[in-house]
């Protein structure tokens, strides 16, 4: 009677070790700070539990800062979606040379991450009170942007600045959705007698609508959480939520770090809701575009 060989030893699967650095990064720089903000929003300076910090969010000044931030985020997201969609549609569907696509997408990848102090300085040097374009229009054409009501250190000035990185982000996100529009759908619509306008109104836009709405939500969250550009450009002249949050946490005489935690907690809720909407709508659009 022959002895049966022992079963081979199973080697441990070590492929998951590649995720350890990413997991540590997420835990240290995303989960841990978020939990500190959530806990701090419901604590007093001596560590006791309280709802006073969250109740402080309903004071008129803080509500006004949230409202200004929401308006700026909505305006920049809407304009970014409109211009970015038109540029992406011209690139994908407009018959432009293929050689334009790669440089445009490369520039969009760089410009969508160009923010903070460099972006604020670029716009001050271009459209500021003594900016290049401001002085050129004034001396060459007699157009005074300040007399026309445009001020870079204002609501529309900050909105225009945000559009610089909102448009490239829109191009990057909506281009795959436009690539997913099948040629057969347009041909079928034309065979049924539909015009180009009817095709877009009744076929293309309904299919793209979840992707468009989801991208709008993502751009809204992107602008709502931006702080470096706004602070470098306007300072404290425009009290949006990130600037007021910075003033509370940096520890000035009138600062209240735990009220700052509550403001950050409110921002987390707003941006989380926008990102959940984006993910849900993105999943719906991908079912059509597969």
Q: In terms of pLDDT, which residue wins out, 263 or 227? A: 263
In the structure, what pLDDT confidence band is assigned to residue 201 with cuts at 50, 70 and 90?
confident
In the structure, what pLDDT confidence band is assigned to residue 82 with cuts at 50, 70 and 90?
very high
Examine the pLDDT at 237 and tell me if it is beyond 80: no
Examine the pLDDT at 226 and tell me if it is beyond 70: yes
Model confidence over 18-51: pLDDT tens digits? 788 888 998 988 899 889 989 989 988 888 889 9
Instruction: Give the mean pLDDT of the chain.
Output: 85
In the structure, what pLDDT confidence band is assigned to residue 7 with cuts at 50, 70 and 90?
low
Enumerate the H helices of the chain as residue ranges.
20-26, 32-40, 52-55, 60-92, 98-111, 117-127, 132-141, 155-179, 183-191, 196-199, 205-224, 228-234, 241-249, 257-289
Q: In terms of pLDDT, which residue wins out, 199 or 96? A: 199
Q: Which CATH class is domain 39-112+167-289?
A: mainly alpha
Examine the pLDDT at 176 and tell me if it is beyond 80: yes
Instruction: Read off the tokens for 289.
Output: 């575009």
The answer to whether the beta carbons of residues 58 and 142 sit under 8 Å apart is no
Percentage of residues in the chain with pLDDT exceeding 70?
A: 92
In the structure, what pLDDT confidence band is assigned to residue 174 with cuts at 50, 70 and 90?
very high
Examine the pLDDT at 270 and tell me if it is beyond 70: yes
Provide the residue ranges of all domains of the chain, joining segments of one domain with +: 39-112+167-289
From 50-64, 213-227, 242-256, the region with the lowest mean pLDDT? 242-256
Contacts of 93 (CB under 8 A, 6+ apart): 178, 181
Examine the pLDDT at 134 and tell me if it is beyond 60: yes
- pTM for the model stands at 0.84
The answer to whether the beta carbons of residues 108 and 85 sit under 8 Å apart is no
Q: Report the C-alpha gap between 217 and 271 in whole angstroms.
A: 9
């Amino acid at each position: 009677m022959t002895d049966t060989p022992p079963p081979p030893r199973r080697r441990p699967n070590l492929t998951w070790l590649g995720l350890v650095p990413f997991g540590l990064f997420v835990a240290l720089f995303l989960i841990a700070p978020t939990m500190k903000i959530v806990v701090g929003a419901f604590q007093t300076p001596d560590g006791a539990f309280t709802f006073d910090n969250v109740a402080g969010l309903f004071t008129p000044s803080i509500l006004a800062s949230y409202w200004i931030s929401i308006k700026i985020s909505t305006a920049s997201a809407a304009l970014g979606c409109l211009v970015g969609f038109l540029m992406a549609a011209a690139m994908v569907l407009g018959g432009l040379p293929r050689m334009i696509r790669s440089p445009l997408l490369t520039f969009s990848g760089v410009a969508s991450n160009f923010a903070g102090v460099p972006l604020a300085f670029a716009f001050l040097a271009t459209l500021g009170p003594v900016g290049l374009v401001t002085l050129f229009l004034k001396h060459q054409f007699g157009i005074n942007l300040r007399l026309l009501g445009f001020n870079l250190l204002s609501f529309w000035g900050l909105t225009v600045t945000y559009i610089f990185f909102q448009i490239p982000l829109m191009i990057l996100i909506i281009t795959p959705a436009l690539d997913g529009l099948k040629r057969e759908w347009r041909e079928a619509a034309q065979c049924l007698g539909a015009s180009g306008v009817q095709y877009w109104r009744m076929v293309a836009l309904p299919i793209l609508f979840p992707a468009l709405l989801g991208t709008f939500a993502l751009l809204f969250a992107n602008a709502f959480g931006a702080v470096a550009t706004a602070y470098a450009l306007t300072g404290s002249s425009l009290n949006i939520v990130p600037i007021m949050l910075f003033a509370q946490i940096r520890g000035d005489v009138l600062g209240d770090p735990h009220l700052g935690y509550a403001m950050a907690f409110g921002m987390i809720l707003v941006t989380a809701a926008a990102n959940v909407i984006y993910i849900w709508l993105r999943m719906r659009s991908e079912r059509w575009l597969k």
